[in-house]
Structure 1
Amino acid sequence: MSPLNDLKNFIVDFSGLAKDALHVYVALIIFLGACLIFRWKASEWKPLGLILAVAVVAELIDIRDTLLIEKRVFLGGNWHDIWNTMLAPVLLFLMARFTVVFEKRELVLPDEIESGDEPEV
């Protein structure tokens, strides 16, 4: 097995998370981390491209390990992992791009705020 699979198995054993959940969490960490570190917007394609690249490389390593151990490939499982990894970041991307959920709101203060402390005449 590769060091990547050893690391995944260690995290699964240590955290108690399922491998599917691990894919989701890693994808969200990469998505948000890329937005913070590279100052990319969640509405840009760049964070999704990075996640897809990481997911594909990880699945290629999984395919290699599967070939070494079982002498055959289970592409359905690899496709499932990529789909599962990409789902949450794509939903965040779509919400950031096509809704106002993540837009900053400007604080509008009225020119004069009546406090009620002044006597009425």
Structure 2
Amino acid sequence: MQWLEIKIWLESTTGLDRDVLHIYGAIAIQFGLALFFRRSLASPWPWLAVLIAAAANEYLDYQRVGDSPASIALFQAEGYKDMWNTMLIPTFLLLVARFWPSWIAGKSKDMDRSIQAKIREKETI
């Protein structure tokens, strides 16, 4: 079974559009590898794995492009859209987990208590 046949099978089995499959696949790869390798989403490695998988997918798609300028132009337009769809949410998750982790995890109540205790200590001094 070739790569295109697998993608067509996934599309027909799930009833999902290819663009949606790109998004779901990217999220599954990012979370799956983060869990498997015990890495945080703040680590660039799960994001990099998504980028490599997306590039490999586009390379395999490129293998079936004809020689005509019209088919090459269509492939390029579709390829840019596919990369955009695939990388948008993983990039967002990486940036949020790295720079604003409290957006995901919230603030710890224990942390709040320890900060309040330190403030009280300073006030009594």
The equivalent residue for 1:63 is: 62
- Ranges in structure 2 where 5+ consecutive residues have no aligned partner: 114-125
- Give the direction of change, closer, same or farther, for the CA distance of 1:56–1:5 in structure 2 (3 Å limit): same
1:89 is the counterpart of 2:121: no
The equivalent residue for 1:102 is: 104
Q: Report how many residues are paired.
A: 107
Structure 1 runs of 4+ with >6 Å offset: none
Cα distance in 1 between the residues matched to 2:62 and 2:4:
11
Cα distance in 2 between the residues matched to 1:81 and 1:25:
12
Using structure 1 for the length normalisation, give the TM-score: 0.78
Cα distance in 2 between the residues matched to 1:80 and 1:54:
15
The equivalent residue for 2:5 is: 6
Task: Name the larger-Rg structure.
Answer: 1
The equivalent residue for 1:37 is: 36
The equivalent residue for 2:52 is: 53
The equivalent residue for 1:27 is: 26
Cα distance in 2 between the residues matched to 1:71 and 1:84:
23
Residue type of the alignment partner of 1:52 = L
Cα distance in 1 between the residues matched to 2:49 and 2:81:
18
Indicate the structure with greater helix content. 2
Note the aligned Cα RMSD (angstroms).
2.3
Using structure 2 for the length normalisation, give the TM-score: 0.76
Cα distance in 1 between the residues matched to 2:40 and 2:103:
14
Question: Per-residue CA shift, 1:56-77, capped at 9, x if unaligned?
Answer: 0110010111238x99422111
Cα distance in 1 between the residues matched to 2:4 and 2:48:
23
Cα distance in 2 between the residues matched to 1:66 and 1:14:
25
- Ranges in structure 1 where 5+ consecutive residues have no aligned partner: 110-121
Cα distance in 1 between the residues matched to 2:43 and 2:66:
36
